Every structure is written in structure tokens, then in C-alpha cells.
């Protein structure tokens, strides 16, 4: 269910939802651009529908992507690729000095 919901954000045209590329051109009129980042209301109004045939194979890949996203340790990866140049002992020593100075 969660996987199909996410696929409606990624492939809105396949489900018959509005798409950023298929919006009417409003050259002469003032046109308020819809917020495509939050489609919850549109998906709710559209209701349930069958998954299109062309997306069935893609859903398997999307499921793997979500699983890998959950298993990835982003903080550890960030610290490995971009290590901090500040020594952790220096940081604790500085903060203890600041707090000691403030308490006077």
C-alpha cells in the first residue's frame, strides 16, 4: 500500500493524476501553480485504482530502493566521507570552559 502510494508521486500521469508537464498554459491569465510536493488531497479525491501494467515491474525496483534507503546508515556514511576536522575532545573541553565561565 505504501509502495503504491509513493508510486503515485513518482508516476502521476500513469495514474491519471495531474502532472507538472501537463498543466494548462496560462500565458494571458494569472495562474497559481499547484504544489506537486504534497499530493495527498488529490490522491485522496482520486480514490483507489488498479496499478497500471507498465508500472508492475517498476514497483519491484521501487520496493528495493525503499528497503535500501531504510538500511543505509546515512550518518555513518557522512562521517566517513566528510570527517569532522574538530576533535571531539576539544569540543567537550571548550563547552565545559564556556559553562564554567558563565556560572561565575
pLDDT digits (tens, 9 = 90+) for 47-71: 888 888 999 999 999 999 999 999 9
Q: Are 16 and 46 in contact (CB under 8 A)?
A: yes
* CB-neighbour burial class of residue 12 (10 A; exposed 0-12, middle 13-18, buried 19+): buried
Report residue 96's pLDDT band, with 50, 70 and 90 as the boundaries. Answer: low
pTM of the model: 0.59
Give the pLDDT confidence score for residue 90 in this predicted structure.
Answer: 63
Mean pLDDT of the chain: 79
Share of the chain residues as helix, strand and coil, in percent rounded to the nearest 5: 60, 0, 40
- Count CB neighbours of 15 within 10 A: 19
Question: What pLDDT score does 71 carry?
Answer: 94
Q: What is the DSSP letter of 95?
A: H
**Residues 43 and 5 sit within 8 Å (Cβ to Cβ):** yes
Task: Judge whether residue 2 has pLDDT over 70.
Answer: yes
Amino acid at each position: 500500500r505504501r509502495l503504491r502510494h509513493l508510486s503515485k508521486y513518482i508516476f502521476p500521469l500513469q495514474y491519471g493524476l495531474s502532472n507538472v508537464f501537463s498543466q494548462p498554459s496560462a500565458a494571458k491569465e494569472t495562474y497559481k501553480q499547484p504544489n506537486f510536493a504534497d499530493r495527498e488531497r488529490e490522491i485522496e479525491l482520486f480514490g483507489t485504482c488498479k496499478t497500471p501494467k507498465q508500472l508492475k515491474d517498476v514497483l519491484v525496483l521501487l520496493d528495493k530502493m525503499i528497503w535500501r534507503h531504510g538500511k543505509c546508515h546515512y550518518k555513518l556514511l557522512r562521517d566517513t566521507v566528510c570527517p569532522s576536522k574538530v576533535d571531539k575532545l576539544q569540543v567537550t573541553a571548550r563547552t565545559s570552559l564556556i559553562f564554567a565561565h558563565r556560572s561565575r
